[in-house]
Each structure stands twice: as structure tokens, then as C-alpha cells.
Amino acid sequence: MVMDQENSISQEAQAYKTSSESGIVVSPNNAHLPVVQPRDNRKSRLLRWLPAVLLLGALSAGGAGYYWWERLHPSLPIGISYGNGRIEADEIDIATKYAGRIAELGTDIGDLVSPGQVVARMDTQDIQQSLSKSEATARQAQKAIDEAQANLVQQQTQQRLAEQEIERTRTLLKSGWATKELMDQRQQQLDGANAGLTAAKARVLQTEHALSAAQHDAAFYRVQIADNALVAPKRGRIQYRLANIGEVLPAGGKVFTMLDFSYVYMDIYLPTAEAGKVRVGDDARIVLDAYPDHPIPAKVSFVANLSQFTPKTVETKSERDKLMFRIRVRIDQDRLLAHSDAIRSGLPGETYVRWDHSVGWPAKLESTP
């Protein structure tokens, strides 16, 4: 009986060996032996083809990248230099002239503003009260002027009467009909009238000066009220709002930061060999990554006289070759105003500078309307 069991086990093991070689799993009656799993031939085939697929993908990506690089970076003739940067616009801070509380905001982030447009107002109740006081003082000074002028007329009348009386007394004195004492009295009356007339004229001048001072005070308070209305100095777009209604700001406190649409530029850096040939006024083209098919005409407005990224003084030619100079190209102001709704700050792109005027622009860099 023991021999029969051993023969049975030997036959099952032989069956397992045969089935495993053929890739078929045979379920034995006695499940005490390990089961042999079949090979995954499809996975093996995929692993063999994987390097080829990756290589093909890399070649395709490289070809596509080269195509776009060629599209965005056309071959340049000698006489045109290239650099990359970001389009920028001058930032203008709209700030308070006097300390105070913000009473009103008339615009917000992203809004277009025009020159002279009121973007915020400060609380001016205290200045309004001071203005009312100055205006009342001016009215009071005007009344004083009217009174002083009336008094002047009175003094002029008395002075003329004193002159007439002294002339009559002088005539009577010659004929003996008047005394010397009466003549002295008439002379004193005339001197008093002349002094009163002088005082009346001085009083008129004093009241006129008082009126002028009150009017200047009132004008000063009006200027303060006008200065507390914050206005946009130029056409542009609100970039940041730095304060809110009700906040108390010191003198010079910033409320908005706006972009000046009349000054849009891009800074690039060129090596010494190329920067030394660039002159202010040279033609340039700006190509933004967002609009690769629309080159923007510009002009060189600044060439740095100091190098960047390297020491100020170098001795060897290899070090001098590493010098980079900042070049600024600026877009024409009239063109900017005509396309103000499309101006964006911070967009990356490239700038092409033509320092050889005999070289024509490539077709890809011809300016568009």
C-alpha cells in the first residue's frame, strides 16, 4: 500500500513537470505541491519594444521643439542682435499729499483711467470748515473796506473845506477884516484835515490787505481740498489697490499703483561685441510669446554705459567677452495709445535690435499695423 502511494505521487509530479513546460497548469488531486504559473509573453514583448517607443517619442518631441524654436527664432542676418526679457510699463504711485482718511474710491484694480480722472477722495470736512471761516473773514474785510472808503470820502470833504476857509481868512487878513489868531485857527483846521485824510487812506489800504489775506487763506484751503481728490496723472491701468475706504493714511500714503501706458519698454542684455554697435534711436522689434506672429516696432531709448553681471574692471579678453550691457527698447507712444486695451505688463518675449541700417528685417519680423 505504501508503494502504491509513492507511485501515485511520482506520477503527479511528472504530470506537473510536463504541464509547466507546456505552459498549462494542471490541478492535481492532492493540492500539497506548488502550482507553476505560466509565463506572460505579452509583457515580455512590451518590455522589448519599450526602448524603441521611448526613442521615437523623444525624436518626435525634439522635432516639434525644433520646429517651434525655428518658428519663434528666425535666422538672423549679421547686423541684428537678439535678447529676451519682459515687457514692462512705468509704475506710478497715486498717493496722498496730506494726512487724512479715505472717504471714497472711484476705481479698482484693472480699470482703465484717463488723465485727470478722480480715483479717490479724502475726508475734507475739517478743511471745509476752515474754508468757511476764511470766506467769512473775507466778507468781513470787504465790509471794513467799504467803511474805510466812506471815511476817506468824509476826510477829503473836510480837507477841501479847511482849504477854502484858510483861503478866505487869508484874503480877509490882508484887508484887515480878520485877525492873526483866526488865521492860525484855520491853519490848524487844515493840518488836522490833512492828517485825517492820510489816516483814512491808510485805513483803506489796511482793510484791503486784510481782505487779500482772507482771500488767500480761502484759496489755500480750496487747493487743499482739490489736492485731497486723488487723480490719475496719465492714461493707464490700475495695477494695485493699496488702501481701502476708512483707512487713515499719512502724508504720502499710497492708495493706487497704476501703469503708465505712454512708457512701455523691454530691457535686454547684449554682449560687448554687439552692445558696442547699438545706438540710441536704432530700430527694434519686440515679439511677445503670447503673440509670436505680431512683431511690435520699437526704438532703442537707452544703452547702459556700465556692464552687468561681471566686475567693473577686467584685464583679459576672455573676461571682457562675458560683459553684458543693458539695452532698453521703447514702443512708440502714439502706437501705445491706439492699442491701450491690449497692453499687458510682465509678458515674456524677445527683442531684436537692428544696429546695421543696411540690413533688412526678416519677413517674420516685419511690423504689423
- Which pLDDT tens digit goes with each residue over 145-194? 999 999 999 989 998 998 898 888 888 888 888 888 888 888 898 889 89
Contacts of 118 (CB under 8 A, 6+ apart): 106, 229, 230, 231
Classify each residue of 343-361 as buried b or exposed e, where b means 16 or more C-beta atoms within 10 Å of its C-beta. beeeeebbbbbbbeeeeeb
Beta bridge mates, 283: 299
Rg (the chain; Cα; Å): 48
The single-letter DSSP state of residue 34 is: P
Query: Alpha helices of the chain — where are they, by DSSP H?
Result: 2-21, 41-72, 125-175, 180-227, 272-275, 317-320, 333-338
Segment 315-342 shows an average pLDDT of 75
State yes or no: pLDDT of 317 exceeds 60. no
- Which pLDDT tens digit goes with each residue over 25-37? 444 444 444 544 5
Could you write out the DSSP letters of every residue in 114-181? -TT-EEEEE--HHHHHHHHHHHHHHHHHHHHHHHHHHHHHHHHHHHHHHHHHHHHHHHHHHHTSS-HH
3-state DSSP percent of the chain in helix, strand and coil, to 5: 45, 25, 25
Segment 280-302 shows an average pLDDT of 91
Contacts of 358 (CB under 8 A, 6+ apart): 79
Q: What is the pTM of this model?
A: 0.63
For residues 257 and 113, what is the distance between their CA atoms, to the nearest angstrom? 12
Task: Find, among 238, 225, 247, the residue nearest to 103 by Cα.
Answer: 247
State yes or no: pLDDT of 109 exceeds 50. yes
pLDDT band at 5 (very low <50, low <70, confident <90, very high): very low
pLDDT for res 310: 57
- Which pLDDT tens digit goes with each residue over 259-288? 998 899 999 999 888 888 999 999 999 998
pLDDT for res 20: 47
pLDDT for res 47: 61
